[in-house]
Amino acid sequence: MKMNHYKYDVIIIGAGPAGLSAGIHLVQLDLEVLVLEKSPEVGGLARRIESLKNYTGFPEISGLEFIEKIVEQARRHGLMIKTDEEVLEMSVVETHKIVKTTQAEYRAEAVIIATGSGMQGLGIKGESWFGGGIFYCDECCKEFLYGKRIGVIGSSPEVVREAVNLKRFSSEIVVLDHSEPISFTDEDEEKMVQNNIRIFKESFVKSLDGHYGKKAIILNNDEKIWVDCVFIVGPLKNIVKTIRRSGIKTHRRGCIMVDQYGRTNVEGIFAAGACTSVLKDIVPACIGDGAKTAAATRMFLLKRRIK
């Protein structure tokens, strides 16, 4: 099948709050901008927020309504958004970035990655509460985890390593199976004992509840385990592997390493929002991060074009 080719000034990968914010700022500067979204709908996890109460100008608004307003604004300014289009490959050819998807091949002078958390998650009911004290990367979220009682949830042997890593700065760790028993070796058991990490065996996690600062892990027998925050040990998204293949540096858990301007180690490729090592879990931070990264991208393009 013949692959169609298109050219833009900027391609944004991900149509969550950060990606849409960056797109709105850039398209108002008369730049040709394309937003690519893997899912059939835009907004990411932010769509699932029942009630957003900390965004300036909105005393209270649902995540879905919040995203709809952003999309309406984006469309009004002429931002092109393509859904159901997964990015399969990224590369740099001379001064251009090549983005190949399931539908076409695109060229741009700059790319902004705004794909959300690098982890797929485990699909636990209540896990997708955006900004609710649920974390996926210890390297990126240390400031939120220090001195906290953390519930670590997963079904792979990697749970042991993550729990031991977290014990460096956590006051207490409890480990819980997600959907099937974790295969612990004798060495794993010994590490857990040495680090005073409690294991709940044969009690699977049914759902998560609570509020920011106090989370209830509800087991299949309806017992509630109260923790300060939850750490999910799940598989990496496919996009993280694509990003790494393109030479962009990430942390072990998939977060993209950026500077204060959202610049990655690859010139002309930026990242914003929850996929980065800088800002994490609240919508206002992602929105601000998107705007900041858009400004840095615009400056990059200006410097290139006046040379």
- pLDDT of the chain, 307 residues: tens digit per residue: 456 678 999 999 999 999 999 999 999 999 999 999 999 999 877 777 777 776 777 778 888 898 899 999 999 999 999 999 999 999 998 889 999 999 999 999 999 999 987 777 788 888 865 556 888 877 777 777 888 999 999 877 788 888 988 988 888 999 998 877 777 788 888 888 888 998 887 778 999 988 777 899 999 889 999 999 999 888 888 899 999 999 999 988 888 999 999 999 999 999 998 888 765 555 555 668 899 999 999 999 999 887 6
Q: Are 53 and 31 in contact (CB under 8 A)?
A: no
**Residue carrying the six token digits 């858990």:** 253
Domain identity same for 101 and 191: no
Find residue 211's DSSP bridge partners: 214
Domain identity same for 153 and 295: no
Domain identity same for 104 and 253: yes
Q: Whose CA is closest to 15, among 83, 102, 105, 117? A: 83
Dist CA 290 CA 102 (whole Å): 25
Domain boundary among 216, 232, 248: 232
**Residue carrying the six token digits 């700059």:** 110
Domain boundary among 180, 209, 232: 232
Q: Is 121 exposed, middle or buried (0-12, 13-18, 19+ CB in 10 A)?
A: middle
pLDDT at 235: 82
- Any domain includes 128: no
Dist CA 161 CA 157 (whole Å): 8
What's the domain count of the chain?
2
Domain identity same for 139 and 268: no
Dist CA 170 CA 304 (whole Å): 46
Dist CA 263 CA 180 (whole Å): 40
Domain identity same for 216 and 240: no
Domain boundary among 232, 259, 274: 232
Q: Whose CA is closest to 166, among 198, 127, 190, 210? A: 198
The model carries a pTM of 0.85
Domain identity same for 12 and 143: no
Domain identity same for 91 and 28: yes
DSSP result, 223-252: -EEEESEEEE--PBPHHHHHHHHTT--B-T
- Any domain includes 125: no
Which strands sit side by side in the sheet containing 134-135, from one edge to the other? 134-135, 229-232, 149-154, 172-177, 198-200
Domain identity same for 49 and 102: yes
Domain identity same for 9 and 37: yes
- Any domain includes 194: yes
Residues 6 or more apart whose Cβ sits within 8 Å of residue 20: 35, 42, 67, 70, 71, 74, 79, 81, 290
What range defines the domain where residue 77 resides? Answer: 4-118+236-305
